[in-house]
Amino acid sequence: MTKVILSILCLMFSGSAVANSIFKCIKDDKIVFSQHSCPKDFRQHEIEYQLGITIETDSDKRTETVDPLQALLQKEVISKNRLLQLLDSEMYRLKQENSYFEILRASELQKLERNRYWQKKEATDPAYIASIEEMNLHFDNLITNNASTIILLDDHKEQITLETSDVK
């Protein structure tokens, strides 16, 4: 169980490290985006993204970025508050992804409906019904997978919250 949770957290941290903060490096009329601090001959803007909000800061000071996955692999500690933030952001991302899957499902249903109309088939046509069932099964599996991951992450979050409240 511990290995499963650690694997999920590692995957979660690796995705959030990339998406949390990037640097916009500017030199003359060239703009380059990087996950690491810009070289000294570039001006630097830091772009942070969290929970759907983007903040761009003009910061020419160089910062050392720490990838949470690398920190775990090097046995450095991530604070409980930061871990709770990462869990919240991953659960939010998965919920957004489920909403996106519903939008894709509606789009696919319209596409199947258009094909059925132009091929002059009935709504009771076995091939049409089979394709709708296949599409629904596909999206149901994706949504169920995300929902089970959200439940697992929420359980882990509750466990961390209980540990934090016991320490106080």
62 and 99 housed in the same domain = no
Last residue of a domain, one of 53, 72, 91: 72
Strand partners of residue 31: 26
Give the domain range for residue 14.
2-72
- Name the 3-class secondary structure at 65: coil
84 and 155 housed in the same domain = yes
Asked if 135 and 112 count as a contact pair (C-beta separation under 8 A), the reply is yes
CA distances in angstroms from 154 to 33, 81, 157, listed in the order given: 33, 15, 5
Question: Residue 58's closest CA among 72, 71, 42?
Answer: 42
- Domain tally, the chain: 2
Identify the pLDDT of residue 27: 85
Last residue of a domain, one of 47, 72, 97: 72
Asked if 25 and 31 count as a contact pair (C-beta separation under 8 A), the reply is yes
pLDDT band at 167 (very low <50, low <70, confident <90, very high): low
87 and 157 housed in the same domain = yes
61 and 129 housed in the same domain = no
pLDDT band at 136 (very low <50, low <70, confident <90, very high): very high
Question: Residue 52's closest CA among 76, 88, 101?
Answer: 88
83 and 151 housed in the same domain = yes
What is the chain's mean pLDDT, rounded? Answer: 80
pLDDT greater than 80 at residue 76: no
- pTM value? 0.53
20 and 45 housed in the same domain = yes
57 and 119 housed in the same domain = no
Last residue of a domain, one of 46, 72, 98: 72
106 and 48 housed in the same domain = no
pLDDT greater than 60 at residue 15: no
91 and 145 housed in the same domain = yes
Identify the pLDDT of residue 60: 63
Q: Please report, for the chain, how many H helices and E strands are present, in that order.
A: 4, 4
pLDDT greater than 60 at residue 13: no
Please report the DSSP string for 124-149 in residue order. T-HHHHHHHHHHHHHHHHHHHHHHHH
Identify the pLDDT of residue 34: 81
89 and 157 housed in the same domain = yes
Residue indicated by tokens 């003009």: 58
pLDDT greater than 50 at residue 18: no
pLDDT band at 63 (very low <50, low <70, confident <90, very high): low
